[in-house]
Amino acid sequence: MERSTIVRVHDGLHARPATRFVKLAKSFESDIELVKDDRSVSAKSSVKLMLLGVKENEEITVRATGADAIEAIEALIGYLENPHAGIEDDGVVQPPKPDAGKPAANRPAHGPAADGALRGVAASEGVAVGPVYGFFPAEIKHENRPLAANAIADEVLRLKQAIATVQKRMDASLSEAGLADSDRGIVAALKDIANDDELTGGAIAIVEGGIDAVSAVIGATSKIASDFATMDDPYLNARADDVNAVGRQICLALLGQEDVNLDTIAEGSILVAEDIGAWDLARAPLKRIAGVICGHGGATSHVAIIARAHGIPAVLGLGRAVLDLKDARTVALDGDSGAVFADPDTAVADRFQAAIAKAEAEKRALTAYKDVTPRRADGTVIDIAANIGSLEEIDAAKEAGAMGVGLFRTELLFMRHIHLPSEDLQAETYSSLAKAFAPHAVIVRTLDIGGDKPIAGVDFPDEENPFLGWRGIRMCLDRPDIFKPQLRALLRAAVHGNIKVMLPMISGVGEVQATKALIEECAGELAAAGTPFAHFDLGVMIETPAAVLIAPALAREVAFFSIGTNDLTQYIMAADRLNPTVAKLNDVTHPAVMAAIELTAKAGVDAGIMVGMCGEAAGRPDLIPAFIAMGLTELSMSPSSIQRAKKCVLDGSKSA
């Protein structure tokens, strides 16, 4: 069986998307291939998948043979058609700016810069000055040692043991509580490479040909890395560094060594390296690192992604010029322009320090709003909450000063497991969330899943437009075997007193009433079993034009509204928000969209219920005053926007 589609995964099947695709493919027994043009590769090999060079908006075919072929194709096509679907969260790393991959010399310089600077790729914005911490581990070289025929089997076994050792080290790294969620996805992608047949099988074949294991690994990784390096996609070019980094770790395991680590780096140091693996950087004490300079890499490399995720300025791709910094005592780097200064003179250092002071002042100024409770001019509290999708994001939200959670996306809990999560697992997750943010409210969105977001255990129909299909509340009401365990779990978690629940994709009052009936049925079942539970406030997301037009009727049925501006905009404008050719129509400031928001707010205010917003627009300083004026009293957003939003509300109340 086979089916073709257009790939909608952002930037195509590069490292982490390929890892997630492979993980999903491996959950099926069928043999699965991905076909592009005249080439086909196994969908269960991330390396082969990446080397196929599948880009966004390209047509590909998924081919499956086996007992669960239909289910496999439906799930994999669903993933490919939705750039936001995934088995695990990638965090909140922002993509590089449109010109971030260009050489710094061809880009407009921002911030401190002067003649005499070394220039590389501006990979993560910001400026830094600090002492050099050199990271130049010894190179592992080919031995090209021939093996006697009777030694080959032992050498193959030794290689397999080394691969297993690297796997265990990466598993241990993934289990570390301090590993950021975004970094976790990168380490998982590296682990997948370390276990890929293209690499391991290639190395084993070389050993079986009579060459020592270290040389075999270097040879196999060099070939794969070379294949990546010749591709015309910058994301896939950058995977060459990942393959080499994994190969190095296997070689070190063969030699009984561990790589030089970064545990001893001093606070405020600039990490300078000819090359550094993403795994090494992800495990480093990142809070101590003021900046990163590297000879290899670019704006799409995993080192750059990690740096951006942690707000660390970075200049990569310096080439051999990075060796000029090896003996420097201090270094200044400008992550906006790609300029690097070894032992900067007083004038350059003063410019950098002034820029750093200005940035820190702005950051400190916003930090002052962390624990502030913003109010309207009339004294009404405006809750500034966080949008999150996993428990790993709790710390970042609390650190930013989130006043609860305005949107907890439960689909990630379903996507990251091969089987449907149990009621107990869900109850534990929702309870942990409630306890973490008490006494603030935590709004949990029931399963918002559809044909564009595959999960195990649900067969979705073939739909021309999944955004208009069997998704959200529509699917849940049709599948009480999935919906009721979630509702029971939420009732159990509600004993903590701050759980609220909202329903996605509502288009009629009947959907709310049917859900209420199921909730009562679930409450009866829990009571009969003697399981503690409590009732929760029930609300709806306003994201369809139908919900806007019947908002007064919905307001009589529920305790709150939450406006989902992302989907509401695409439905109001009849423009797929994933289609770049109509991207300009996806504008929340369009009069039609703003009118829909205002109609919703009026209906909620007139009914005396809370009206909030959990779309991307909620964090926009240029729109927050208008939303507050409409009567919204809760705004939920990415944690990085929270402090700025609080400031905006307070500034607006002062000027009112």
Report residue 210's pLDDT band, with 50, 70 and 90 as the boundaries.
Answer: very high
For 386-417, the pLDDT digits (tens) are 988 888 778 888 998 999 999 998 987 886 66
Could you list the beta-strand ranges (E) of 157-300. Answer: 269-273, 289-294
Catalytic residue selected from 251, 294, 522, 614:
614
| Residue of 614 and 104 predicted with greater confidence | 614
For 163-182, the pLDDT digits (tens) are 998 888 887 777 665 666 56
For residue 71, which of 461, 464, 421, 420 has the smallest C-alpha distance? 461
558: exposed, middle or buried (C-beta count within 10 Å: 0-12, 13-18, 19+)?
Answer: buried
Residue 324: the pLDDT is 87
Contact indicator for 618, 636 with CB cutoff of 8 Å: yes
Residue 108: the pLDDT is 35
Contact indicator for 543, 537 with CB cutoff of 8 Å: no
For residue 48, which of 57, 59, 58, 36 has the smallest C-alpha distance? 36
Q: Around Cβ 549, how many Cβ atoms within 10 Å? A: 15
Report residue 277's pLDDT band, with 50, 70 and 90 as the boundaries.
Answer: confident
Residue 626: the pLDDT is 96
Asked whether the predicted pLDDT for residue 89 surpasses 50, the reply is no
Instruction: Indicate the length of the chain as a whole number.
Output: 656
Q: For the residues of 40-105, what is the DSSP string, one character each? A: EEETT-HHHHHHTT--TT-EEEEEEESTTHHHHHHHHHHHHT-TT--SS--TTPPPPPTTTTS-GG
459: exposed, middle or buried (C-beta count within 10 Å: 0-12, 13-18, 19+)?
Answer: exposed
What pairs with residue 479 in β-bridges? Answer: none
Non-local (6+) Cβ contacts of 401 within 8 A are 369, 370, 371, 372, 384, 642, 643, 646
| Residue of 536 and 327 predicted with greater confidence | 536
For the sheet containing 330-334, what is the strand order?
118-119, 339-342, 330-334, 127-135, 269-273, 289-294, 314-316, 121-124
CA 21/CA 30 separation, integer angstroms: 14
SS3 142: coil
Residue 359: the pLDDT is 81
Residue 521: the pLDDT is 97
| Most confident by average pLDDT, 323-327, 461-465, 551-555 | 551-555
Contact indicator for 599, 579 with CB cutoff of 8 Å: no
Residue 232: the pLDDT is 63
SS3 582: helix
CA 170/CA 391 separation, integer angstroms: 21
Report residue 455's pLDDT band, with 50, 70 and 90 as the boundaries.
Answer: low
Residue 537: the pLDDT is 98
Handedness of CA 184, 189, 190, 195 (dihedral sign): positive
Residue 541: the pLDDT is 96
For the sheet containing 59-65, what is the strand order?
2-6, 59-65, 31-36, 39-42
Handedness of CA 418, 424, 426, 430 (dihedral sign): negative
Contact indicator for 87, 24 with CB cutoff of 8 Å: yes
φ, ψ at 611 (rounded to 5°): -120, 120
Name the CA dihedral angle for 598, 599, 601, 607, rounded to a multiple of 10 degrees. Answer: 160
Mark whether 294 is an active-site residue: no
CA 290/CA 269 separation, integer angstroms: 5
φ, ψ at 500 (rounded to 5°): -125, 155
For 307-328, the pLDDT digits (tens) are 876 779 999 988 888 888 988 9
Number of H helices, E strands in the chain: 24, 20
Mark whether 614 is an active-site residue: yes
What pairs with residue 270 in β-bridges? Answer: 132, 291
| Residue of 545 and 414 predicted with greater confidence | 545
Catalytic residue selected from 302, 310, 496, 522:
302
For 432-453, the pLDDT digits (tens) are 999 999 999 999 999 987 644 5
CA 204/CA 159 separation, integer angstroms: 7
